[in-house]
Amino acid sequence: MLKPQITMIGGGMIAHDQILPSLYQLQRQGAIGEITVCAQHAKTLQALRDNAMIHQRAFPGHSFRAVPDPAVDASAKDSLAYRKVIAAMPPRQIVIVAIPDQLHHEVIMTALRHDQHVIAVKPLVLTIAHALEIEREARSRNLFVGVEYHKRFDDRSLLARRRYREGMFGEFKLGTARLMEKWYYRHSNFQNWFTPENSDAFTYIGCHYVDFVHFVTGLIPTAVSVYGIKDKFPNGNEGYLWTDARVLWNNGACLNVQNTLSFPDEAPGSNTQGITLYFSDGERGAWLDHSDQYRGIKYCYTRRLNTDGGTTFHEPSTEYFQYIDLGGPGLSCTGYGFRSVDQLVRAAIRVESAGVGERAALLKEIDDAEVIATPSNSSYNEAVMEAGRLSILNGGKLAVIEAGDPPRVRLE
């Protein structure tokens, strides 16, 4: 079976928390070959290499090739190294894009132009035009592009989707969602890029719940307003660290999404998040309520957990991502964080393993199934990103998404 090389661009939080361990698990299963990680700073890669949970406890014997290599120059910095790394790959391997939101477009296009399949963390890109460009380039080369919306692989999302499509809820009318990350995020690398011109709390994490509502209901967003409150990072940079978004849908429904980097560090668990939706079939109301951060486990340890934001009282989630001991070697990762990476990587492998003449049909099949997010089946997300950015930078005015080919975003 084909074992693609994987190059991940970016070695920050999402690489550490989810993607690299998931890749090691796939490597252990024999599904993928060598892993390269390219980051802007060698010291980022050193920290990733030194991570004892990943490299000693969970995946002893696994390692990645680092560019720039901290063993050669620990202080190296190269923001364009990804170009050389991608250019040196054999064609039709896999590039994973895990860098700040505003840089995705450039790196994805570089990978596609070098004939690489692409997996991008969400949001794919921030404008409709960029998403279309990616879709066209990928299609012309029969390359797979998948967007890592991992909530889609939470069983509760898949169950809600099936029940909605069976007509059990009627039609979505109103909803409210929240995803608040912890305060300590403000001390991370975020303070260097999460500034008003690049991103905001809604763009960063609100997109998950917009995607969820489409994933479950199939409805399309038509207008967005995002009210943002600026706050200061420890380094003095400002960012929209508090956002309240209202997303309207093509049946007139309305979803409210609140996002912040403010959840108290001492609160148990890594964030607070959930969604409540209200529906109607015209005669009866229906209701869905997902508590996505708390799943009934309460631990109080003898000492503080030795992780970023670690607490003594803890409500761990076994859903997103955990390491478990299944008898070795090392530990295994479990949860929808792993399942998502697994599905995306295996989709790219499936496309590449198909005969040259069969790839276009297979890519269309993946698009049409609408389980894996692709540029063509999830472009409403880019429309929401573009409208949301336009709105927040204009004091929360409503930004309308006009249907069309391509859709157009304008302030009302």
**Contacts with ligand NAD, residue ranges (CB under 6 A):** 9-15, 38-41, 44, 79, 82, 98-101, 103, 121-122, 150, 188-190, 204
Cβ closest to ligand NAD, residue 170 vs residue 196: 196
Shortest spacing between CB 211 and ligand NAD, in angstroms: 10
Cβ closest to ligand NAD, residue 121 vs residue 247: 121
Cα–Cα distance for residue pair 388/204, rounded to 1 Å: 11
For residue 323, give both structure tokens: 């390491």
Shortest spacing between CB 224 and ligand NAD, in angstroms: 18
The number of angstroms, rounded, from the C-alpha of 161 to the middle of its chain's C-alpha atoms is 19
Cβ closest to ligand NAD, residue 41 vs residue 214: 41
Question: Which residue number places its CB atom closest to ligand NAD?
Answer: 12
Cβ closest to ligand NAD, residue 39 vs residue 277: 39
Cβ closest to ligand NAD, residue 222 vs residue 272: 272
Residue 144 in contact with residue 138, Cβ under 8 Å?
yes
Buried b (16+ CB within 10 A) or exposed e, 248-273: bbeeebebebbbbbbbeeebbbbbbb
Cβ closest to ligand NAD, residue 82 vs residue 209: 82
Shortest spacing between CB 274 and ligand NAD, in angstroms: 15
Cα–Cα distance for residue pair 19/198, rounded to 1 Å: 23
Q: What's the 3-state SS for 71-112? A: CCCCCCECCCHHHHHHHCCCCCCEEEECCCHHHHHHHHHHHH
Question: Which of 39, 29, 38 minimizes the C-alpha distance to 59?
Answer: 29
Cβ closest to ligand NAD, residue 6 vs residue 223: 6
Residue 225 in contact with residue 397, Cβ under 8 Å?
yes
Please name the amino acid found at residue 34: E
Cβ closest to ligand NAD, residue 39 vs residue 399: 39
Shortest spacing between CB 366 and ligand NAD, in angstroms: 20
Percentages helix, strand, coil for the chain (3-state, rounded to 5) are 35, 25, 35
- Can you count the helices (H) and strands (E) in the chain? 14, 18
Shortest spacing between CB 382 and ligand NAD, in angstroms: 13
Shortest spacing between CB 20 and ligand NAD, in angstroms: 11
Dihedral of CA atoms 39, 41, 44, 46 in degrees, nearest 10, equals 100
For residue 162, give both structure tokens: 């099936």
Alpha helices by DSSP H, 15-58: 20-28, 42-49, 52
Shortest spacing between CB 357 and ligand NAD, in angstroms: 35
Q: Which residues, in sequence order, are bridge partners of residue 178?
A: 258, 274
Q: What's the 3-state SS for 222-253? A: EEEEEEEEEEECCCCCEEEEEEEEEEEECCCC
Shortest spacing between CB 229 and ligand NAD, in angstroms: 20
Angle at 33 between CA 147 and CA 63, to 5 degrees: 95
Shortest spacing between CB 361 and ligand NAD, in angstroms: 30
Non-local (6+) Cβ contacts of 301 within 8 A are 312, 313, 314
Shortest spacing between CB 11 and ligand NAD, in angstroms: 4
Cβ closest to ligand NAD, residue 135 vs residue 211: 211
